[in-house]
Amino acid sequence: GAGVSQSPRYKVAKRGQDVALRCDPISGHVSLFWYQQALGQGPEFLTYFQNEAQLDKSGLPSDRFFAERPEGSVSTLKIQRTQQEDSAVYLCASSSSSGVGYGYTFGSGTRLTVV
Amino acid sequence: DAKTTQPPSMDCAEGRAANLPCNHSTISGNEYVYWYRQIHSQGPQYIIHGLKNNETNEMASLIITENRKSSTLILPHATLRDTAVYYCIVRPTDTGRRALTFGSGTRLQVQP
């Protein structure tokens, strides 16, 4: 596609509910990243995939957060038993290479509100 | 990754040049300087990057000091659409750590 697509654009979840956020990267992009952005803060890294391999998940805040990219294209970020502190914008980015010289293309994000 | 320091906010008059500074005094030889911006309700957008030479593209110019401890992003003729948060990021060439580390950035307000 022309850009990175994320869905849904907005999600309201009741505390304790499970949610799944989807990311469609640019076709052929090898690298895919998830970030969490709290209100008024810069994006914070959650996890990184190279094709279907999850190479870095050091930023996932708890074991309630799980990400997958089974076929090396679309990725899903799942949050189990959501809590109010999970309210944030979740951004996905993809890149054609992990090397320097290639910019990352970000989606517009999913705004999650936990009530 | 080297830490960056940016002013929290800046104003600029429409049509004038916007000069956004960034300090990265602990930058190492294999680290590039990247600039991204984030317009309200959108994801960050790549602007420009460089290693030690000055760079220019259709969006902006990047001036890196000779000792590489600081840099300046220049928007030559700012418009209202340039109002955004601008992030300066340093990143190694390839150490296996591939994520971008964002700070708090500079909120640029372009005034009419």
B6-60: pLDDT as tens digits? 999 999 999 999 999 999 999 988 888 999 999 999 999 999 999 998 999 999 9
Query: Mean pLDDT for chain A?
Result: 93
CA distance A83 to B75: 41
Residues 40-69 of A with CB under 8 A from B: 41-45, 48, 50, 55-56, 59
pLDDT of A97 over the 80 cut: no
Alpha-carbon dihedral of residues B50, B53, B54, B57, nearest 10 degrees? -50
Do strands B106-111 and B9-13 pair parallel, antiparallel, or not at all (unpaired)?
parallel
Tell me the CA distances in angstroms from B19 to A76, A87, B10, B14, one per residue in order: 39, 34, 9, 13
The closest CB to that of B100, out of A55, A104, A107, belongs to A104
Nearest Cα residue to B103 out of B3, B27, B14: B3
Question: Which of A4, A56, A107 faces B99 most closely, judged by CB atoms?
Answer: A56
Nearest C-alpha of chain B: how many angstroms from A90?
A: 10
Chain A positions in Cβ-Cβ contact with residue B49 (cut-off 8 Å): 100-101, 103
Q: Do A93 and B45 count as a contact with CB atoms less than 8 A apart?
A: no
Q: Return the half-sphere exposure (C-beta side, CA atoms, 13 A cut-off) of residue A61.
A: 16
Averaged pLDDT, A54-70? 96
Q: Does A100 touch chain B (CB under 8 A)?
A: yes
Sort out which chain A residues have CB atoms less than 8 A from B103's CB and list them.
Answer: 42
CA distance A74 to A70: 8
Residue B92: helix, strand or coil by DSSP?
strand
* Adjacent-strand bridge partners of A10: A111
User: Among partner residues A42, A48, A103, which is closest to B46 by beta-carbon distance?
Assistant: A103
- Do the chains contact at B99 and A33, CB–CB below 8 Å? yes
A52 vs chain B: nearest CA distance in angstroms?
Answer: 16
Residue A1 has pLDDT above 80, yes or no: no
